Amino acid sequence: FFLPSPARRRQKWSVDPQNSTWSKDDSKFGQKMLEKMGWSKGKGLGAQEQGNTEHIKVQVKNNTLGLGATIKHEDNWIAHQDDFNQLLAELNSCHGQGET
């Protein structure tokens, strides 16, 4: 006897575009470890403190395209198909379409 599970729903995370909630939290484990080793807020990582002083910004990806893909890249496939069809038509006209 098998009962189907209820439909799964995608969970939407709250949008924090400035990522300010995470960056202002001083109780993070990693930050505490870095401070114990001599790092302080506002300094970069590295021997000469040359690293980034800001955290990595996050962006909400709210579409079904792959990472790094944009809508205008999808049109390139059609353009390449047109180029291929034109080349094929030129070859057929030069060498005869029905000949092998």
Tell me the pLDDT tens digit for each residue of 75-87.
Answer: 566 767 888 888 9
Q: Which of 21, 26, 57 is nearest to 42 (CA)?
A: 26
- At residue 98, does pLDDT exceed 60? no
Half-sphere exposure of 42 (CA within 13 A, CB side): 0
pLDDT in tens, 48-97: 989 888 877 767 777 888 887 777 655 566 767 888 888 999 998 888 76
Number of H helices and E strands in the chain, helices first, is 3, 0
* Residue % of the chain over a pLDDT of 70: 68
The overall pTM is greater than 0.95: no
